Structure 1
Amino acid sequence: MVATTGSSVAASGRKPKPTIVLVHGAFADATGWADVIKRLSGDGYTVIAPPNPLRGVASDSAYLADFLATLTGPIVLAGHSYGGVVISNAATGNPNVKALVYIAAFAPDAGDTVYGLQNQFPGTELHEAQLDFRPWDGGVDGYVKRADFRRVFAGDLSPSAAELLWSTQRPGDVSTLQAASGEPAWRGIPSYYLVAREDKLIPAAAQRFMAARARAHTVEVKASHVAMISQSRATADLIRKAAR
């Protein structure tokens, strides 16, 4: 038996399926995409969820851009939370990226900051008082405090599931809050947005504003900030739509 190659797919008249790249945000890691990966992999997509360094907007975006440059063929790029900032910058200038998918994510314009978008509309419950700060050699990391984690981050998960997320959270360097984003890839790439109506970190009003500005195909779900976990089916469905 001869393995199917990209050329044989093209020869048969069928377009190759895009590679789907999933980017996590701060206070999380790539395992938050686990159920989404299972659903998409089951449909025959190649799905990759690389680590997001969470060290700074420019360096995180450069890291992802370099990663994307190693892939051939069409790409659908999805980001959650701060991961939306990273995909908005990393995809700029990459012709292989055919769609951007924002899952309860920041979709910044040039000059926007995470802090500014998060507080542009009322409703966020993540403030300095909800963070523990821990210095490291290159800066200061912020962790969501245990007492606030489930309420702010994962209100529709069980207490045990939220506790596991808190225990394993990957912090983001606080410099990412005030760093200005660059020219957004959504200006030239079709975009999709899943609004989490019960998000306590990025207010739903902010999500709707960003989705409308990017002219994104938008769906809404009843979900906390971790919509890719609590609403994995809806998340996978939107990514499939982008992939088609």
Structure 2
Amino acid sequence: MANQTETKIQELSEHIAKAYELKEGVRPVTELVPDLEIDKAYAIQLETINVQLATGKKITGKKIGLTSAAMQKSLGVDEPDYGHLFDDMAYENNATVPFDRLLQPRVEGEIAFVLKKDLAGPNVTSFDVMMATDYVVPALEIVDSRIKDWKIKLEDTVADNGSSALYVLGNNPTKLTDIDLKMVGMTFYKNGKLVNSGIGAAALGDPAKCVAWLANKLAAYDITLKAGEVILSGALSAAIPAEPGDSFTAKFSHFGEVTVTFSKE
């Protein structure tokens, strides 16, 4: 039975990977396996991660998703989810991203933590996160679902590496002693037009609490957050769909800004 389970996990990981080959979304894994459990969805994600590592890619951090009450309610869940970040996902501030790298991208403004110490759960607190953080920096996360038309349930996005795609970090590293993350305001612009706004407290009430949740969640899989890793702590407002040629900027109060542009083709 164990071998059958491992084979199924591998098959579902390969199913999601086909989206890259086909250059279009695939059927939800929850349609293929209607009774898919969340632990199995994370197992599918980790299978995909191990395949990526085998190709020479390096993990640079993690992303946390579903940190807002509204997003959790929309998927019928009561906790966030997470995905892995790789070195080839990172872009510098003001970069132009080739649109053909993506399928159906959306962009979010977030606060990124860069760690100076390892964080290993369980029992990690927000204070532990603050002590382990080197600095925080404005960030944009570009999420992208390999599931056709974003027709996802929680298990689909978890299996699909938390709908991770790319991320962009700003140029203004800030020590946590110099800022109250809960009160950081963000305004979000698409092609120079204000499209939404948010505040640090939108992420579970405190972005540091999100990182603590992640460290404790990962303990169940014997995964530790490592010094030097980037942790995207969760969107401060709704994700906005991107099209070729679009430009996005997130401006944070007392904290700087970060911009990304998509190529026209």
Same fold at TM > 0.5: no
TM-score by length of 1: 0.29
Q: Which has the higher contact order (CA 8 A, sep 6+)?
A: 2
Report the structure, 1 or 2, having the larger strand content: 2
The TM-score, its normalising length taken from structure 2, stands at: 0.28
